[in-house]
Amino acid sequence: MSSTPLALFVGLPNPVLSDDEFALFRETNPLGLFVGRRNQREPAQTKRLIERFREAVDRDDAPVFTDQEGGRVQHLDAGPWPLFRSFGQFAELARRDFELGKRALRLSSQAMGAMMTELGLSSGCSPVLDLVFETTSAVIGARSFGPDPDVIAALGREVVDGLLETGNMPVMKHIPGHGRATLDSHKERPVVDASRETLIATDFKPFVALKDTPWAMVAHVVYSAYHGELPASVSPVMHDVIRNDLGYDGVLISDCIFMESLSGTLPERVSQVLDAGFDIALHSHGDIPESEAAAKAARPLTDAALQRIAAGKARLGNLKIDVRAAHRQVEDMFASASVS
């Protein structure tokens, strides 16, 4: 096993790490693991799965991510875990009372972060900083705080800081903005034809405001004003836009490479992400042949990526919080404002 991890997250089909998967990860040393709903049944099982992966790669701090935004995108939605509200619902509360909305979102983010940290999960890949319009693909919908970039930045800040305080890594997505995409990048290749001036003034703005967020996930969206053919996640041009024009110097991980916005074989997609200059390719599905193929196409993390990862970890706090009590308090805030 190489001492430097591969610039790759892998996934699993089941809630248990098999002996063959353990051996593969021991041999290839992927940076991290992405676990979905199919992998998480209850706390003891989730903890054991995470421990087994970390045993395989021989790193106690190997990152293990999931999708846990709230609303319809929360993969901890079985067993004893509380259900959290969507960002769209917090935006509605903020429209009634902005300060109350921010306080509720901060507390909810702390509760969610503390819950994940207790399980051993490193991140829930949140917040979503995409704008939403009438024409936006439904894949975003209530995952967004709305159409106003300043409101999104203010509310997104509460999520970023609340997660960091509880030792859970925020990952802002989908940089540089999925909101003008009218197609679902899981199924098709969206093309955004807005001008550079429009994108800078709107879609890019929340990501610039929160550019101190340690990690960001890159959209599989084409921005024709910059690069007319390739999605941002595999475009060297868009890599430079994010780094230079948006001024982002944190860890850049692709959205899942299984999504149909990309083209080519699985190994080719891994290479496309890394060749474009991004730090990590996310392969969140995966059986053993797929994970092996992805690992063969990946390469060790660069020194710059390792430095970015270390800088992010240094910002993690250790705030302890009663998850269920905080969750009840958030619900009381919604009730006090008569928001259902």
Neighbours of 139 (CB within 10 A): 17
173 bridge partner residues: 128, 217
Contacts of 195 (CB under 8 A, 6+ apart): 225
Is 285 among the catalytic positions?
A: no
Residue type, 265: T
186 noted as active-site residue: yes
Chain centroid to CA 16: 23
- The answer to whether the CB of 210 falls within 8 A of the CB of 160 is yes
Q: Which of 186, 240, 245, 249 is catalytic?
A: 186
Among candidate residues 208, 205, 215, the one with its CA nearest the CA of residue 179: 205
Tokens 């509200």 — which residue? 85
Q: Is 14 in a helix, a strand, or coil? A: coil
Helices and strands in the chain: count of H runs, count of E runs = 12, 11
Please tell me which residue in 67, 130, 203, 255 is annotated as part of the active site.
255
Do the strands 73-74 and 68-70 form a parallel or antiparallel pair, or are they unpaired? antiparallel
Please provide residue 226's backbone torsions phi and psi, each rounded to the nearest 5 degrees.
Answer: -110, -50
Residues annotated as catalytic are 186, 255
